[in-house]
Chain A
Amino acid sequence: MALLEVRDLEVEFAMRGARLKALRGVSFDLDAGDRLGIVGESGAGKSMAAYAILNLISEPGRISAGSIAFDGRVLNTLPAEEMRKVRGDRIAMIFQDPMMTLNPVLTVGAQMVECLKTHRTISDGEARALSVQKLREVAIPSPDARFDSYPHELSGGLRQRVVIAIALLLDPAVIIADEPTTALDVTIQAEIMGLMLDLCETRGVSLILITHDIAVVSETTQRMLVMYAGRVVEQGETRGIIARPSHPYTRGLLQALPQRNKPGAELNQIPGSMPTLAELPPGCAFHPRCAYADDTCSGGVPALRTLGKRLVACHHAERLK
């Protein structure tokens, strides 16, 4: 049994009388020390998947199917009080929006100390020392002074690093990082990714990394999921997927990278835009934008099926070889 097992996860939103599926059938395993990347269209449901794992979906949304098991315990049916203990302590989340973690009226230090005292028996002095040490680990200048800063006094990247420091505070077993380094320059990004990889390798921490930066996913993860319109469209070894994508969406994504285009020229873009959840096209949700699409594609939803060492949800994946 894997440390974290996610099976057929489904999230539903009740909106204006309709039921919208923001997430459909996401499954994966994560063992101690594993690093999984999640990429995909903005609005595809990546953050939603993270919230669902932590049981953070609130009205009008709910987990409508599937299960999440951590360390042998099913999380999605856990009482709220038990779940709160798991969250933050064993599984830490680095939110895409730092202000989801940070309280604007409290100093950085007050929040860190409070977090430590909720989960541990620790003196004020020790809590302060440990907090400052974590701030230093994430390359925050003058950590002693920043301990007393309010969130609005910090730049975007400093805030993001404070949130990472808070996530690392309790030595979690799993870190779910939602765009943890988007506000950071590449040198600090490299330092922080180095720190997280070190935790994975030396302490067996598992990492779920949600990001738009495919180069970072390529350098730091072993396996990856590609999501589109609430579904996983491709899943497997990171290296293989980036070298030879099997799904037309993944391929379009890789071709849109500035690194793969001539400077100053128009960038390759996938035509059209992702449909809203309320107006998903029939069959493969990607078919109106897909160069390989035919009647089969608009006729039926492609199942996520095995192709070589990979899973792909495309009727014509063989044609991309």
Chain B
Amino acid sequence: MTEPLVKVQDLQVHFPIQVHFLSREKPVVHALNGVDVEIDRGDAFCLVGESGCGKTTLGRTIMGLVRPTVGEISYDGERISGLRDQALLPYRRRMQMIFQNPYASLNPRMTVQQTLEEPLRFHKSELSDAEVREHTENVMVSVGNDPGWGSRYPHEFSGGQRQRISIARALMVDPEFIVADEPVSALDVSIQAQVLNLLMKVRKERQLTYLFITHDLSVVQHFGTRVAVMYLGTVCEMTTPKTLFATPRHPYSQLLLSAIPKLGRKTFVPVKVPGEVPSPIDLPSGCVFHGRCRFANERCKSQVPELKNYSGAQVACHAVEEDRL
């Protein structure tokens, strides 16, 4: 087997948070609690899971924007976690990130043209002005943008239009790995189709690898080659989208799939999840999902389940291991 492009080992990220200044507590948010993930070259690796479970944090840590509390990250066989900015520089061009919030990720004082040219002038300073302009125009057209937008500023665009500008910016420097954080959730489905088609095309043509964070499971099913389901800072299931949709094994995966809204379903089916919402500030003992799980027993309350192999999937669940589902 060849080396995975991205390898995440036992990653933990904790954020200290503020509380009332009179309080003596020093709470931390356990955003990631021992995540192991391998992303192969050419994968469209999808990350799904409860909002707040650490998906963005995982993406940002891989990109070197957040320091791991524990654990390490390798890229193309080299350890990159803990590298200094200077040593990280060569990786910065090879890895790009499309940020979750299209409102915050564009510099309001730069025109669209300046925003797009910036990474190119930084990483590929050998290009002539004409080449830069031509490249910008091609990328703009390829993501369905009007090249005439160049002279305008971010506030003149709708949410979806801004998202397409950030996608164009990520593609400007021909990266080999892209962390795409909810890249299509601000887009209407016809532009979503354009952007997904484009991302699939460049993946095939240039062997591009994606870490694709999304809440839209129909996109995962369509686009993904691998998928990891996360809950409260841990991976609970990792497999192919096909296997996940055919036979979700982890109780949280099952819950997630049951909540997918269905086109043409006439009524809204409320999802009833038992128990209190667990918190990354006050992490539950044992399995992080036990308080909401129908299958939880004493072992689940005390012992953290590890990711184990079952034909075609890795699952972290005692009930699956004990064949109680």
Contacts A42-B158, A191-B271, A239-B266: A185 and B48 contacting too (C-beta < 8 A)? yes
Contact of A258 among B186, B221, B256, B269 (CB under 8 A): B221
Q: Of the listed stretches B16-24, B32-40, B61-69, B86-94, name the one at the interface; the rest are far from the partner chain.
A: B16-24
Q: How far is the CA of A141 from the CA of B27 in the complex (A)?
A: 14
A182 in contact with B186 (CB, 8 Å): yes
A183 in contact with B190 (CB, 8 Å): no
Contacts A218-B261, A218-B265: A186 and B215 contacting too (C-beta < 8 A)? yes
Q: Which residues of B contact A44 (CB under 8 A)?
A: 188
- In this assembly, does B127 line the interface, its C-beta being within 8 Å of a C-beta of chain A? no
- In this assembly, does B15 line the interface, its C-beta being within 8 Å of a C-beta of chain A? yes
Contact of A190 among B159, B218, B219, B271 (CB under 8 A): B271
A275 to chain B, nearest CB (A): 8
B100 in contact with A212 (CB, 8 Å): no
A41 in contact with B191 (CB, 8 Å): yes
A153 in contact with B189 (CB, 8 Å): no
A141 in contact with B158 (CB, 8 Å): no
Closest to B44 in A: A264
Q: Which residues of B contact A268 (CB under 8 A)?
A: 193
A298 to chain B, nearest CB (A): 20
B273 in contact with A219 (CB, 8 Å): no
Contact of A188 among B51, B193, B242, B264 (CB under 8 A): B51
- In this assembly, does B197 line the interface, its C-beta being within 8 Å of a C-beta of chain A? yes
- In this assembly, does B295 line the interface, its C-beta being within 8 Å of a C-beta of chain A? no
- Which parts of A238-282 form the interface with B (CB within 8 Å)? 239, 242-243, 252-254, 256-261, 263-264, 266-270, 273, 276
Contacts A156-B51, A263-B222: A183 and B267 contacting too (C-beta < 8 A)? no
Q: Which residues of A contact B266 (CB under 8 A)?
A: 219, 239
B201 to chain A, nearest CB (A): 8
Contact of A156 among B100, B218, B259, B270 (CB under 8 A): B100
Number of residues on chain A facing chain B (CB within 8 A): 69
A155 in contact with B188 (CB, 8 Å): no
Number of residues on chain B facing chain A (CB within 8 A): 74
Closest to A159 in B: B101
A43 in contact with B160 (CB, 8 Å): yes
A18 to chain B, nearest CB (A): 13
Q: Of the listed stretches A1-9, A25-33, A144-152, A304-312, name the one at the interface; the rest are far from the partner chain.
A: A144-152
Contacts A183-B182, A267-B197, A273-B146: A41 and B188 contacting too (C-beta < 8 A)? yes
Closest to B100 in A: A156
- Which parts of A146-170 form the interface with B (CB within 8 Å)? 148-150, 153-158, 160-161
- In this assembly, does A133 line the interface, its C-beta being within 8 Å of a C-beta of chain B? no
Q: Which residues of B contact A43 (CB under 8 A)?
A: 157-158, 160-161
Q: Which residues of A contact B216 (CB under 8 A)?
A: 213, 258
Told that A256-B190, A258-B219 touch, could you supply 6 new A-B pairs with CB distance under 8 A? A139-B277, A145-B279, A191-B270, A191-B273, A253-B189, A264-B222
Task: State the A residues within 8 Å of B (CB).
Answer: 39-44, 47, 96-97, 99, 139-142, 145, 148-150, 153-158, 160-161, 179, 182-191, 193-194, 197, 212-216, 218-220, 239, 242-243, 252-254, 256-261, 263-264, 266-270, 273, 276
5 closest Cβ pairs, A-B complex:
A42-B160, A157-B51, A141-B279, A267-B193, A215-B261
